[in-house]
């Protein structure tokens, strides 16, 4: 029986940026698990530890030796390996290359229907698992995902790069050191605890998490996150306030500390006159602190910081945070008092002094394009033209204010606040405030239709401009946030609760028209429009799960012969998601794949079906059923409520299964007679056109 020993791997670094270490740790765990599985080594479950200064893997028991295994070696086929019953040079050469003699081989059937091959079975001795891991680790570390990598020179010259400088590495399999080097650091047995409270020492290979706990490091990220959440709730209860929940901030703080301590602090109550988001943004983005509400659900000056230290004087930590927060809020109050002295309308001209992007003109140019777009398409966008154009004109004016200059995260929000102070309509102010939403795949959509309209043109305008410059995202880089822009656009256009009656092509064409009519910077080409369209569709396919349908179903919907608004494509995709898994759906999809392949290979297909050329009963039956289906399909799809028409239309397609199956069973499509062959192809083309009206079900 193979001996089992505890496995421990730890990579110690300088502080890794928040959000990166968990991805790297998960990737490292998966890579090591795959490495061991590929070698036939089965350790007990590997536990992952992640903190700002370490990636740690631990298995309570792992085989120290790889088991011996049998390996089958296939050589050249018999016709090459033997001539006149004697081995050829190819046979001798292959045997020598394999380290075997010809006597070790036999002739055997490989199962590919191509006769016998040379075959040998040899026993491969298992290797020490520590050696397997040691050989692979440098390569695994080089492949870990990180937004950026760095090289550092604090000793000998090194060529490896990592997210942050590596300071120590531990590799253990029981008492045996897993010996490998990376970035100039060689594995050992010593680890490091907390930067302030901990020390260096030999980490316990049997219980590394317990050893680190004794060194003021809580290495289990989930446990650390749960502890922080508990401490924050306890601190809030002690201060008699309600914590403002912020899962993103909780995740970020979890990745910034190894030994958390939640501490309450308080900023000057005079700053409560500032809009709520000002203090929240300051606390979150600049201090990584949590906000609170008082018993009346109003903003409270009490906030909470999470220190990475077991402080003996929490009041001093609180005071340090209070000093910084009060200074920042004092700046915010200064600008908040000064900014309204000039209205948003008066600030519009200043936008012509702010560069949108080198080569794309000024923000003022963008605002004029956005204003013209909502005016031209107000009806399709479902907005009042006057209010929408007013909001579009003013939506970027807050970029010229001092408060947004100091706190860029308040873009849009402060525009809405200032618009109300200027006496603008609520619909206009709301549209300005929320036009950046949604900011991601999970952010709430704006309820205000003007905000949606501006959001649609802003994102489309940005995509067209950057694609014109060739700044197209790559697999590893998207510095201008174009994927995020496409995702926001998709979510706005696929929303079925507040539908936008514009097709994607129409949105792109109308946005391009504004560039081309303006002619102050560039003209958008058809090639650029096509690339933007394809990029958005790619993002739509990738976002399918978040939107409630399968990738194949939306792929089928957007490749129909009818061009529809994306919200209708989403409605189709949601019903196709159930249909594609049904027996009828799978049969119809298979038949359409077959029809599509036949038509693709055909040199030409007649435009019309001639019933006089039918010679098989199955042809007549299929044609008669197709005529009925076309009538019923058109009646179903023409009802006022599009969503309720999809299921009846799919039922029409589903009932074609039997006549289609009979047709393929009884009829030779590619008949030798040219007229019969062409007529059958025309029949299949007409059948395919029926389903393509709703979706390309061959893609299911």
pLDDT, tens digit (0-9, with 9 covering 90-100), for 578-604 = 888 888 888 889 989 999 999 988 888
The CATH topology of domain 4-66+128-214 is: Alpha-Beta Plaits (3.30.70)
Distance CA 133, CA 588 (A): 50
Distance CA 319, CA 541 (A): 50
Distance CA 139, CA 200 (A): 27
pLDDT tens-digit series, residues 433-446: 999 999 888 889 99
Range from 48-62, 239-253, 648-662 carrying the lowest mean pLDDT: 648-662
Quick check: 219 and 251 in contact, CB under 8 A?
Answer: no
Quick check: 15 and 165 in contact, CB under 8 A?
Answer: no
Would you state the pLDDT for residue 45? 95
pLDDT grade for 477, boundaries at 50, 70 and 90: confident
pLDDT higher than threshold 50 for residue 1 = no
pLDDT tens-digit series, residues 261-320: 999 999 999 999 999 999 999 999 999 999 999 999 999 999 999 999 999 999 999 999
Per-residue pLDDT, averaged over 490-519, amounts to 94
Cβ-in-10-Å burial (0-12, 13-18, 19+) of 643 comes to middle
CA-based nearest residue to 262, from 238, 286, 296, 293: 238
Quick check: 550 and 573 in contact, CB under 8 A?
Answer: yes
Distance CA 689, CA 31 (A): 47
Q: Spell out the residues 6+ positions from residue 517 whose beta carbon is closer than 8 angstroms to its own.
A: 372
| Alpha helices, H only, 74-200 | 78-81, 89-97, 129-142
What is the SS3 assignment for 644-689? HHHHHHHHHHHCCHHHHHHHHHHCCCCCCCHHHHHHHHHHHHHHHH
Tell me the sheet residues that pair with 243.
Answer: 292
Would you state the pLDDT for residue 529? 97
Element (H, E) at 1: none
Residue 239 sits at the vertex; the CA angle it makes with 235 and 245, to the nearest 5 degrees, is 60
CA-based nearest residue to 696, from 596, 616, 621, 597: 596
**Residue 547 vs residues 291, 496, 562, 580, 645: alpha-carbon distances, Å:** 31, 11, 21, 17, 21
Q: Spell out the residues 6+ positions from residue 268 whose beta carbon is closer than 8 angstroms to its own.
A: 301, 326, 329
Would you state the pLDDT for residue 585? 87
φ/ψ of residue 429, rounded to 5: -65, -45
CA-based nearest residue to 64, from 131, 116, 152, 149: 131
How many Cβ atoms from other residues are within 10 Å of residue 148's Cβ?
9
Global pTM reads 0.82
By percentage, how much of the chain surpasses pLDDT 70? 99
CATH 1.10.730 fits 572-699, yes or no: yes
Quick check: 289 and 256 in contact, CB under 8 A?
Answer: no
Distance CA 199, CA 249 (A): 29
Q: Kindly list the domain boundaries of the chain, sorted by start residue.
A: 4-66+128-214, 69-124, 238-340, 344-547, 572-699
Per-residue pLDDT, averaged over 13-36, amounts to 96
Terminus-to-terminus CA distance in the chain, angstroms? 49
Angle between helices 504-518 and 363-376 (to 10 degrees): 130
pLDDT grade for 520, boundaries at 50, 70 and 90: low
Distance from the Cα of residue 359 to its chain's centroid: 29
| Alpha helices, H only, 240-301 | 247-254, 276-281, 287
Angle between helices 504-518 and 449-468 (to 10 degrees): 70
pLDDT tens-digit series, residues 123-171: 888 899 999 999 999 999 999 998 888 888 765 656 788 999 999 999 9
Per the prediction, the chain carries an average pLDDT of 94
Quick check: 524 and 383 in contact, CB under 8 A?
Answer: no
Distance CA 560, CA 538 (A): 16
pLDDT higher than threshold 50 for residue 59 = yes
> 382 — alpha (psi -120 to 50), left (phi > 0) or beta?
left
**Residue 641 vs residues 382, 500, 571, 648: alpha-carbon distances, Å:** 18, 15, 11, 12
CA-based nearest residue to 439, from 479, 484, 404, 481: 484
User: What CATH number does domain 344-547 carry, 1.20.1260, 1.10.287, 1.10.3210, 3.40.720?
Assistant: 1.10.3210
Would you state the pLDDT for residue 582? 87
Per-residue pLDDT, averaged over 528-554, amounts to 95
**Residue 444 vs residues 103, 173, 448, 492, 496: alpha-carbon distances, Å:** 72, 49, 12, 10, 14
Would you state the pLDDT for residue 115? 86
How many Cβ atoms from other residues are within 10 Å of residue 17's Cβ?
15
Extract the runs of DSSP E, i.e. beta strands, from 282-360. 290-293, 299-307
Per-residue pLDDT, averaged over 632-659, amounts to 91
pLDDT higher than threshold 70 for residue 250 = yes
| Alpha helices, H only, 401-543 | 402-406, 413-421, 426-433, 449-468, 482-494, 504-518, 526-542
**Residue 468 vs residues 512, 529, 623: alpha-carbon distances, Å:** 11, 9, 49
Strands 54-63, 181-182: pairing is unpaired
pLDDT grade for 84, boundaries at 50, 70 and 90: confident
φ/ψ of residue 246, rounded to 5: -155, 90
Per-residue pLDDT, averaged over 473-478, amounts to 84
Quick check: 304 and 241 in contact, CB under 8 A?
Answer: no
Distance CA 80, CA 600 (A): 39
Distance CA 295, CA 309 (A): 30
Quick check: 409 and 331 in contact, CB under 8 A?
Answer: no
């Amino acid at each position: 029986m193979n001996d089992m020993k505890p496995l421990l791997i730890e990579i110690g670094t300088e502080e890794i940026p928040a959000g990166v270490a968990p991805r790297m740790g998960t990737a490292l765990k998966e890579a090591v698990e795959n490495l061991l599985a590929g070698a036939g080594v089965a350790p007990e479950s590997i536990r992952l530890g992640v903190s700002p200064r370490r990636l740690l893997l631990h298995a309570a028991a792992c085989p120290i030796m790889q088991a011996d295994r049998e390996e089958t070696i296939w050589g050249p086929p018999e016709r090459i390996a033997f001539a006149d019953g004697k081995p050829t040079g190819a046979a001798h050469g292959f045997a020598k290359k394999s380290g075997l003699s010809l006597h070790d081989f036999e002739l055997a059937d490989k199962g590919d229907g191509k006769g016998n091959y040379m075959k040998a079975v040899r026993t491969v001795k298992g290797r020490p698992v520590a050696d397997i891991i040691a050989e692979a680790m440098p390569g695994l570390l080089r492949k870990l995902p990180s937004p950026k990598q760095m090289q550092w020179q604090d000793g000998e010259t090194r060529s490896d790069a990592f997210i942050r400088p590596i300071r120590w590495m531990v590799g253990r399999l029981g008492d045996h050191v897993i010996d490998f080097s990376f970035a100039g650091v060689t594995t050992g047995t010593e680890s490091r605890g907390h930067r302030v409270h901990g020390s260096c020492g030999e980490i316990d290979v049997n219980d590394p998490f317990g050893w680190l706990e004794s060194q003021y490091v809580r290495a289990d990220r989930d446990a650390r996150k749960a502890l922080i959440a508990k401490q924050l709730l306890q601190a809030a209860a002690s201060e008699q306030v309600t914590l403002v929940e912020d899962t993103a901030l909780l995740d970020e703080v979890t990745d910034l500390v190894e030994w958390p301590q939640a501490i309450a602090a308080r900023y000057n109550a005079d700053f409560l006159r500032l809009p709520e988001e000002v203090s929240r943004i300051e606390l979150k983005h600049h201090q990584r602190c949590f906000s609170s509400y008082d018993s009346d659900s109003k903003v409270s000056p009490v906030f909470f910081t999470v220190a990475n230290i077991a402080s003996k004087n929490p009041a001093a930590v609180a005071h340090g945070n209070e000093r910084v927060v009060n200074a920042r809020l004092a700046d915010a109050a200064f600008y908040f008092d000064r900014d309204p002295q000039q209205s948003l309308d008066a600030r519009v001209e200043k936008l012509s002094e702010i560069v949108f992007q080198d080569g794309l003109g000024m923000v003022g140019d963008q605002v004029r394009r956005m204003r013209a777009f909502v005016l031209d398409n107000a009806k399709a966008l479902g907005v009042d033209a006057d209010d929408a154009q007013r909001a579009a004109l003013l939506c970027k004016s807050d970029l010229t204010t001092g408060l947004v200059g100091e706190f860029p995260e308040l873009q849009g929000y402060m525009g809405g606040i200032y618009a109300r102070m200027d006496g603008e309509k609520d619909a206009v102010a709301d549209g300005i405030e929320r036009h950046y939403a949604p900011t991601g795949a999970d952010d709430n959509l704006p309820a205000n239709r003007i905000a949606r309209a501006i959001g649609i043109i802003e994102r489309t305008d940005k995509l067209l401009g950057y694609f014109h410059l060739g700044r197209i995202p790559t697999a590893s880089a998207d510095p201008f946030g174009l994927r995020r822009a496409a995702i926001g656009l998709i979510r706005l256009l696929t929303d079925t609760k507040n539908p936008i009656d514009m097709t994607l092509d129409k949105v792109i064409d109308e946005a391009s028209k504004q560039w081309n009519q303006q002619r102050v910077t560039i003209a958008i080409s058809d090639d650029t429009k096509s690339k933007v369209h394809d990029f958005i569709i790619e993002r739509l396919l990738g976002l399918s799960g978040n939107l409630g349908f399968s990738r194949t179903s939306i792929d089928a919907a957007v490749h129909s012969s009818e061009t529809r608004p994306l919200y209708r494509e989403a409605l189709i995709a949601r019903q196709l998601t159930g249909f594609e898994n049904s027996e009828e759906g799978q049969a119809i999809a298979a038949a359409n794949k077959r029809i599509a392949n036949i038509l693709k290979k055909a040199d030409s297909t007649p435009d019309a079906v001639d019933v006089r050329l039918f010679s098989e009963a199955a042809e007549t039956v299929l044609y008669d059923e197709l005529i009925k289906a076309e009538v019923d399909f058109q009646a179903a799809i023409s009802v006022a409520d599009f969503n309720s028409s999809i299921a009846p239309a799919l039922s029409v397609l589903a009932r074609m299964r039997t006549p289609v199956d009979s047709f393929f069973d009884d009829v030779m499509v590619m008949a030798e007679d040219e007229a019969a062959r062409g007529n059958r192809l025309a029949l299949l083309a007409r059948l395919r056109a029926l389903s393509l009206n709703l979706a390309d079900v061959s893609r299911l």
